Structure 1
């Protein structure tokens, strides 16, 4: 997450003019917008007089409309205390969705870095910390140098380009009395210059800009620029080296997340989302997907031993591109559905301190030095996971003791894999077709789920049977419902609103129309949000069917109730709905279950001492829970509950609130009392929505923990509560505010007298 630098000193271009130049922050333009903002902001910052107020643009999203706007964030740190008091719940949630809190609660990570920094620094030196976060590594370096009595003074320079975190870092430095020991700049590292921000090239680079894939946060270009412009020749670095490893696995669960063509063969609805000849027209993006693979270990068959892939040395300039063909001996018969990968950090040059993100079934034998220490092998954390790369189609056959060939390639930001057969590269994504839809793996799996398809088909068939020549609106990015309605009713007229898929959605429907036996004359695709529709976009007739899945394109990070955008869109089009219009889903029921979530709660707990440094200043901004001055619980955040480490249900599932889509959107309130059915420690509550989809409200689709394709909302409580079946119960109150699309959750506990 990065923000752009601006100044209020009267730059060459005004903020209002700059905002007008930015495209609407849609999924396709957001990256360009941030890049443009960054370039313009850099020139503005360079020309700003000393002491000018730092400002930044950030995106603010209304989840019900899907609309975003650029808002100016004031970065004047003099008013930070007052600003913290004014911070809204939504902005706190934005900071809470970052990985900073989880990283700082990773005690093994913190200890490994501290030991490596202390063993690397043998006297005063010039240290550079890139992507400093809260300044933990900078403070470690400054403290390590302070132990040496020398006339040569060591210096620590740090940079952080995310404005809210830059502000928090300054607060943390002040709280630890180190604001004069660390010089921190609100800039990217490629904006730093020797002779300006740095007095001279740095002797030591300390940095942790690693994601689960390793390269996704720009490690390679950052190191390249640092070695070219900011560091001495042959510098010291912490970390010293990173090595990526992989393993070939068979897993039907992972296979279903990318191979829609071979999974929909088993469906009974007669709909062909990937017809013969267009097998790859819908696909998950060829990339590595971060996932807690320990959670699916029971559904995985290992088909190889772990193998080494790439090695990246931090102490020298890395190459932008690399490739390697690896011969891998199969240890069992089966089909290779995926490559599971992870990485191991060597933090010090002596090779005594390591950190691994390997799955639980891989032992620390990767670290061969008996005197070394391996961190990260026992703890659960959410900031670093394993990665999954899907093998094309039904998978690659493997025979025990035979060799398979895997080609690994990396560029500046990612690593990719291709299975090789007889020296000919298998087609992983070279013939994807002209009308390819790239969908999240969870949605690919959902579209291939025969039970999910059967339920929707049954509800739509019943509605169509009572309506002749119906006028239909598909309210979200559902190519399945568009195809289903057009196929089932030869007299229907369908308007499909594809705000995310846009023109690609229209091309897709055109491409599969013949295979599904319908004419495009009866389908109109509109590639914009409902709130942007004009009268010419819509049918002059009253709408008989208004339907949605709802599972909006690109909604992986959304809370369950933010899919109530369907309700908002139904409300915007209320005037054109027929009195007896079939609306699917008909209702949404907010569900709740009390949960034991020790791993997740531990990763979100409040910070005090982090390797000897006070971090209590960041708790409120990062949405921490536990041992806080206030009794207010942290924000409700989206998680795949099945990936949250050790979990246990402590109660049955209760209904809190009903959303009735037959009437326009309105504020809702609900409450329920939860009795505990299992003793244990309650860390919070899981929340989700069950969708009632037929006219009799007899068919439902659950987005709860039993369905691994959806994220649930998790409301952690301030302090865990030990519960006994007969000794206490919980109360949950929930209120929905339609103007902002937010749901507030208030849990409480009661004990019998």
Structure 2
């Protein structure tokens, strides 16, 4: 493969003005295992074409591969943005050094820089890191924000950061809180990359749950189609379903319960956990358990994406559907279980 990459590289000077030829080489670079070089070529073609024509569209396909849609959703959440920026402003002092894990668009890093900090932000994906550098430069913060194309666990506190950070900020939380690896990343960062008594934003994360009724007209599970019973196929369905907060897709049928809460400011390794408990129903049909997240940014700031009328959030809630609906009366108890494996959450109704 190394010889193939060398052969492809040797062709570049001959086709430097030909977007279609450059894209063809980029695609072969990907096949040969050199994604960073392929991304650089795709960026070059995108700049040459402005994203127009077949070469421009193909360049966009290469650049967007592996970039999740939530990178374009999260920055639009004004409540989330305000909560993070206020927490950063409360923490930052003159000369503060901020480490961000997960650059994304660079928004949080620029917020920290705008508040007066010097920021090192790390991003494992080379395409995202490159785009974030351009965003930072376009907004005039290239002298205060350094984007490092590494996973946080590969950072060297001296070589990459110039010293230990006074503040850690991250948003590597998922709809279930844990599946982006927030626990492992924070444990490593607190142990290796932060100064003593450093501020961590968010300081804590909590998984909250409640009994829920599905308000949608049609269940995503299969039943009859064209006269055939398809229900046996449902065993292949994911055990949870995404619920858009603010879309009134579910009704809460119990008071919320904190399932698990996590200290993001500790280096102590959190072990997997499992628990079962009773939840008291408001009454009526219960279709499953809805799960959402709450972030404690600092002693003052909090962000929660509770699925209720009038709410809005860049994060979705998750509905863990029961095998069959349960009819309840007010104050009936439903026994549910929950477990996490550090990077995965699971909920169920007990027999």
TM range (shorter): 0.7 to 0.9
1:230-274 CA-to-partner distances (Å, cap 9, x unmatched) read 22344311112222212212338599434x5xx45xx78466763
Q: How far has the Cα of 1:309 moved from its partner?
A: 1.6
Q: How far has the Cα of 1:82 moved from its partner?
A: 3.4
User: Given the alignment, which residue of 317, 329, 342 partners 1:412?
Assistant: 342
User: Given the alignment, which residue of 302, 309, 319 partners 1:388?
Assistant: 319
Q: How far has the Cα of 1:332 moved from its partner?
A: 0.5
CA change 1:136–1:268 in 2 (3 A) is closer
User: Given the alignment, which residue of 50, 61, 67 partners 1:85?
Assistant: 50
Q: TM-score, normalised by structure 2?
A: 0.78
Tell whether the 8 Å contact from 1:327 to 1:404 is kept in structure 2 after alignment.
yes
Other-structure match for 2:236: 283
User: Given the alignment, which residue of 188, 194, 199 partners 1:231?
Assistant: 194
Tell whether the 8 Å contact from 1:241 to 1:312 is kept in structure 2 after alignment.
yes
User: Given the alignment, which residue of 248, 257, 279 partners 1:307?
Assistant: 257
Q: How far has the Cα of 1:159 moved from its partner?
A: 0.8
Tell whether the 8 Å contact from 2:320 to 2:348 is kept in structure 1 after alignment.
no
Q: TM-score, normalised by structure 1?
A: 0.39
CA change 1:357–1:407 in 2 (3 A) is same
How far apart, CA to CA, are the structure 2 residues paired with 1:237 and 1:310?
19
CA change 1:271–1:327 in 2 (3 A) is closer
Structure 1 gap segments, 5+ residues each: 1-12, 19-54, 61-68, 147-154, 275-279, 362-376, 421-425, 427-753
Q: Secondary structure at the match of 1:295?
A: coil
Structure 2 gap segments, 5+ residues each: 7-25
Other-structure match for 2:277: 326
Other-structure match for 1:99: 70
CA change 1:213–1:233 in 2 (3 A) is same
- CA RMSD in angstroms comes to 3.6
CA change 1:321–1:14 in 2 (3 A) is same
Tell whether the 8 Å contact from 1:75 to 1:163 is kept in structure 2 after alignment.
no
Other-structure match for 2:132: 169
User: Given the alignment, which residue of 399, 413, 428 partners 2:329?
Assistant: 399
How far apart, CA to CA, are the structure 2 residues paired with 1:327 and 1:59?
52
1:22-49 CA-to-partner distances (Å, cap 9, x unmatched) read xxxxxxxxxxxxxxxxxxxxxxxxxxxx
User: Given the alignment, which residue of 76, 94, 97 partners 1:123?
Assistant: 94
Q: How far has the Cα of 1:360 moved from its partner?
A: 2.6
CA change 1:295–1:316 in 2 (3 A) is same
Larger RCO, structure (CA 8 Å, separation 6 or more)? 2
Pairing 1:562-601 to 2, within 5 Å after superposition? none
Tell whether the 8 Å contact from 2:211 to 2:288 is kept in structure 1 after alignment.
yes
Tell whether the 8 Å contact from 2:183 to 2:270 is kept in structure 1 after alignment.
yes
**1:337 counterpart = 2:287:** yes
Pairing 1:175-186 to 2, within 5 Å after superposition? 175-186=138-149
Other-structure match for 1:596: none
User: Given the alignment, which residue of 301, 321, 324 partners 1:353?
Assistant: 301
CA change 1:124–1:57 in 2 (3 A) is farther
How far apart, CA to CA, are the structure 1 residues paired with 2:217 and 2:340?
23
CA change 1:77–1:123 in 2 (3 A) is farther
CA change 1:185–1:386 in 2 (3 A) is same
Q: How far has the Cα of 1:401 moved from its partner?
A: 1.2
How far apart, CA to CA, are the structure 2 residues paired with 1:231 and 1:397?
51
Tell whether the 8 Å contact from 1:254 to 1:390 is kept in structure 2 after alignment.
no
Structure richer in helix, relative to its length: 2
Q: How far has the Cα of 1:387 moved from its partner?
A: 1.3
1:485-531 CA-to-partner distances (Å, cap 9, x unmatched) read xxxxxxxxxxxxxxxxxxxxxxxxxxxxxxxxxxxxxxxxxxxxxxx
Q: Secondary structure at the match of 1:73?
A: helix
Tell whether the 8 Å contact from 1:213 to 1:290 is kept in structure 2 after alignment.
no
Tell whether the 8 Å contact from 2:43 to 2:59 is kept in structure 1 after alignment.
no
Q: How far has the Cα of 1:184 moved from its partner?
A: 1.7
How far apart, CA to CA, are the structure 2 residues paired with 1:325 and 1:15?
57
How far apart, CA to CA, are the structure 2 residues paired with 1:58 and 1:331?
59
